[in-house]
Amino acid sequence: MKFSSNPLALSIPDAAFESWLRDSGYLEILDHHSSSTTTTTTTTTAAASSNTPTTASITGGFFVSLFSRILTLLSLFTLNPLSKLTTDDFSGQTPCWTRAFFGDCGSYSFPSGNDQARLRVHENVKRYARNYASLFILFCACTLYQMPLALIGLISSLALWDIFKFCSDRWGLDLYPAIRQVLVRTAQCATVVILVCLNVQMALFYALGVSYAVMILHASFRKLTPAEQPSRRR
């Protein structure tokens, strides 16, 4: 005898039960429930159409499934994964890279639909915010290593502002706000020229694009796990 995925189905509707799971933090149960529901629906549809199997129906079902997955992947790039981030997400400890962030092969699955993909992205981005930030720094360093002129431009722009700060403190430019404002505008223009001429913006764009794609794909394919693992008793 199989029980319903909602153990309180006789007294609480599924919508209210899912809302309670969200508010209580049991998102991994909601994620598993979405996958199970989609699997059950797919199995039922396949069993209903298996009475008269034809080459056209099999081919049509394959293309429908492929088109659905493509739409799910495209919908990932319409999300705003950073909308629910707060400063507290970066203040905690970095989750373990091997056990928590990467996991094993069973920790990944294709999202069953847009709702599940959206749920995974928003929750995983909050959980692994520090990991994704570290990956962005790594990709940025690799990109600058491959583009030495961009690295020189970035270092030059930083050195320019350090020199400006040193001269401002030494000459007391705070007493002459008009002169200081002119020098600030001049330094800004010089910084823009350096960044554009040495393709620093392209290096940052490449690093940001790669890290964003990795973040979206990892967050959507990574299954939700309990936020707080039970502590072991001594």
More confident residue, 163 or 227: 163
Is the per-residue pLDDT at 189 higher than 90? yes
Kindly report, residue by residue over 28-61, the tens digit of the pLDDT: 666 665 655 554 444 444 444 445 555 655 666 6
Kindly report, residue by residue over 119-140, the tens digit of the pLDDT: 888 889 989 999 999 999 999 9
Cα distances from 3 to residues 6, 34, 167, in angstroms, run 8, 16, 75
Residue 131 counted as domain residue: yes
Instruction: Tell me the C-alpha distance between 109 and 194, whole Å.
Output: 45
Query: What is the percent of the chain with per-residue pLDDT over 90, rounded to a whole number?
Result: 30
The average pLDDT across 93-116 equals: 87
Q: Which residue from 67, 55, 110 is spatially nearest to 220, judged by alpha carbons?
A: 110
pLDDT of residue 139: 94
Tell me, yes or no, whether 5 and 79 share the same domain. no
Tell me, yes or no, whether 134 and 25 share the same domain. no
Is the per-residue pLDDT at 141 higher than 70? yes
CB 122 within 8 A of CB 76: no
Tell me, yes or no, whether 70 and 20 share the same domain. no
More confident residue, 25 or 62: 62
pLDDT of residue 230: 43
Residue 194 counted as domain residue: no
Tell me, yes or no, whether 62 and 41 share the same domain. no
Tell me, yes or no, whether 82 and 116 share the same domain. yes
Tell me, yes or no, whether 18 and 60 share the same domain. no
Tell me, yes or no, whether 35 and 117 share the same domain. no
CB 135 within 8 A of CB 214: yes
Residue 170 counted as domain residue: no
- Mean pLDDT score of the chain, rounded to an integer? 78
pLDDT of residue 34: 61
Query: What is the percent of the chain with per-residue pLDDT over 70, rounded to a whole number?
Result: 70
Residue 166 counted as domain residue: no
Instruction: Tell me the C-alpha distance between 195 and 221, whole Å.
Output: 36
Residue 31 counted as domain residue: yes
Q: What is the domain extent for residue 13?
A: 1-45
The average pLDDT across 174-187 equals: 89
Tell me, yes or no, whether 21 and 118 share the same domain. no
Tell me, yes or no, whether 30 and 4 share the same domain. yes
Angle, helix 148-171 to helix 200-221, in steps of 10 degrees? 110
The average pLDDT across 181-188 equals: 91
Residue 157 counted as domain residue: no
- Tell me the residue length of the chain: 234
| CB < 8 Å & 24+ apart, contacts of 66-73 | 69/110, 71/114, 72/110, 72/111, 72/113, 72/114, 72/117
Q: Quote the number of domains for the chain.
A: 2
CB 76 within 8 A of CB 117: yes
Residue 153 counted as domain residue: no
Residue 17 counted as domain residue: yes
